Every structure is written in structure tokens, then in C-alpha cells.
Structure 1
Amino acid sequence: MGEQKRKQSAKGDFIFGKKNYKWLFIGLAFIAVGFIIMAGGGSDDPNVFDESIFHWRRIRLAPTLVLIGFGIQVYAILLNPDKKKD
């Protein structure tokens, strides 16, 4: 009887709830967008210097988006999906 009960309860239990996964995907999107903005913009000729590497999007915006994404990931992991709003 105990083994059957354990199997039955383990079948439908997930570590995270629907809210957790929603926030995890939002955080992943922030991180991906940050890295996409950070990438690219080189010169095909190694003798020509391209100033676009110092653009504000790469220096400020992209790392900020990545850090916000990591913060959202931490929030999603620590979020209790069973907690009800009052």
C-alpha cells in the first residue's frame, strides 16, 4: 500500500509550478536578448577599427539586460507557486 501511494504522489508532482516556469522563460528571454545585443558588429578588415564596439547598447544596455535576466531567474527559483494571494 505504501509503495503504491508513493508512486501515485510522485507521478503528478513537479518541483516548480506554472508561475515558476513562466518567470524562468521570461528571465531566459532577457538573458538571450542581452547576449544578442552584445554580440556582432565587427569589421571584416582587421586593419580597420570599428567604433561601434563602444556603443551604449553594448556597454550599458546589454549587460543590464543580462543581469536583470539573472535576477528574474533567482526570483523564479525562489517563488513559491503554492502561495495564494490574499
Structure 2
Amino acid sequence: MGEKKDQMPFTRENYLLMLGGIALLVIGYLVMSADKTEFGFGFMGLTFGPILVFLAFMVPFVAIFFNKKKSKNQRDEMAMKKEAEKTNR
């Protein structure tokens, strides 16, 4: 079967990026609703707000695929642990 992983799939940075995306989404919708021109046809309602909302929907995708690079020492330790598990079987 598959190997059991000791780590969670998402780190603190992933969750913070997700929360940032949600905050940006709320800000984008607030910007669109704050446009004072008739029917929201001004710059904020038609251009700036939708750009913010689009970026807000892209941030969670980045958060899902974000993977912090491990240092060489951490990679060496992981490799040693895997080798030790193989020899113990």
C-alpha cells in the first residue's frame, strides 16, 4: 500500500494565503458596491473591483499549490528516516 505521511498536506503559510484570498474577495466586493456612480458604472464598479475579485479567486489556487522549499539538511534527514524505515522492515 502507500506510505504513511507524518506531515499535514498544508502548512501555516497555505492557510494564511487562503485567508488572504478570502479577505481580498470581501474587499473586492466592497469596492464594487462602494461605487457612487449610477448603477455602479464607474471605474471602481466596472474595472478595479472586478480585478480585485478575479485576483481573490486566483489566490486560493496559489495557496493550494504553494510548497515551501525544504533546506538541504531537512531533505537529508527525511532521506535518512526513509532508509531507516526500510531497513527495519
Summarize the Cα distance change of 1:69–1:16 in structure 2 as closer, same or farther, 3 Å threshold. same
State the aligned residue count.
68
Q: Structure 1 length as normaliser, TM-score?
A: 0.63
Query: % of aligned pairs identical?
Result: 26
State whether residues 35 and 44 of structure 2, in contact with CA within 8 Å, keep that contact through their aligned partners in structure 1.
no
Structure with higher RCO (Cα < 8 A, 6+ apart): 1
Q: 2:66 is matched by which residue type in structure 1? A: L
Could you say which residue in structure 1 is the equivalent of 2:47? 60
Dislocated runs of 4+, deviation >4 Å? none
More helix by share: 2
Gaps of 5+ in 2: 73-89
Deviations 1:30-56 (A, max 9, x none): 1110011222668xxxxxxx6262110
Q: How does 1:1-86 map to 2 (within 5 A)?
A: 13-39=7-33, 51=38, 53-81=40-68, 83-84=69-70
RMSD: 2.6
CA apart distance, 1:70: 1.2
Gaps of 5+ in 1: 1-5, 43-49
